[in-house]
Amino acid sequence: MEARIPVLDLHMHTTVSDGTDTPEALLAHVKEAGIELFSVTDHDAIEGCRRILAIRTEDDPTFIPGIEFSCRDEEGQYHILGYGYDPDAEPINAVVRQGHAYRMRKVTGRLDFLKERFGFIFSQEDVDRLLSLPNPGKPHIGNLMVSYGYAKTKEEAITKFINQAEFKNQYVRPEDAIKGILDSCGIPVLAHPPYGSGDQLILGEDLESRVKKLMGFGLLGVEAFYSGFTKKLRNEVLALAKQYDLYVTAGSDCHGSNKLITLGDTGLSGMAKIPKGLAAFLQAIKERKTEGIE
């Protein structure tokens, strides 16, 4: 008898990064959505996972500690997910500190750029409030610009203005993120593999080359089920996972009201049976004795 596909979502964000729900509120929404297994994957941050672990009870959905590192190297941008790691392990916390330092430098750099290039000025009170956030980023600056009337929407603020500022050397490198996850007993996974920088779409040999390069650093899985994937994209990632014996994960990338994505929207619901790579991933997480996995 085939194993039932659990209702899961392994990619979501809280106010610790660029989501709109606190970790506590997100846990309540996860339960309301009937999700049985979930992971919080805040950008460059573990604090949201710590808060979930602190309040989670035996009656709550199963939880896997997660993270999403925003990475870049000479060939482009990568989002590296980490699952099942030890939140107290020094290797992953060292990468978190590095990523946070880069993030804060980019925020102040973007504010300076907007002032110098476009004359956009914000009150010191609003700047201090922005810099006091756990992990401020482009969406937070975009929302601030909208409140000042510098842009009509957050999306316009980001694409038309904020993205003009470039910080090529202010990112965690993918090999460092992968090593930090592995050295903390976690599983590194490439998030939404066909998506690169901006609207870039990476397919075919280019996608395979990218995955193989990351495997050389220790990558163990790919996010094959994702809210933004067409069936064609999903099948291409699944084929790579099968070819290279990689784990498979599924996530919505829900950010609360910051994106029009609902919890649990992973594309898994239409599957007749649990994909082999996903079953292998869940077994690997179970063997790591992650809290809440039985």
Q: What is the pTM (predicted TM-score) of this model?
A: 0.91
Q: What is the pLDDT of residue 3?
A: 67
Q: Can you give the C-alpha Rg of the chain in angstroms?
A: 19
Please give the domain boundaries of the chain with CATH numbers for all domains: 8-96+188-287 (3.20.20.140), 98-164 (1.10.150)
Q: What is the pLDDT of residue 1?
A: 41
In this prediction, residue 200 has a pLDDT band, given cuts at 50, 70 and 90, of: confident
First to last CA, the chain: 20
Mean pLDDT of 186-215: 93
Mean pLDDT of 156-185: 93
**Residue 81: HSE in the Cβ half-sphere, 13 Å Cα cutoff:** 28
Span 206-223, pLDDT tens digits:
999 999 999 999 999 999
Span 40-70, pLDDT tens digits:
999 999 999 999 999 999 999 999 999 999 9
User: Within 10 Å of residue 54's Cβ, how many Cβ atoms?
Assistant: 9
For residue 291, give every residue at least 6 positions away whose Cβ sits within 8 Å of its Cβ, in sequence order, or none.
53, 56, 63, 65
Q: Look up residue 262 and give its amino acid.
A: T
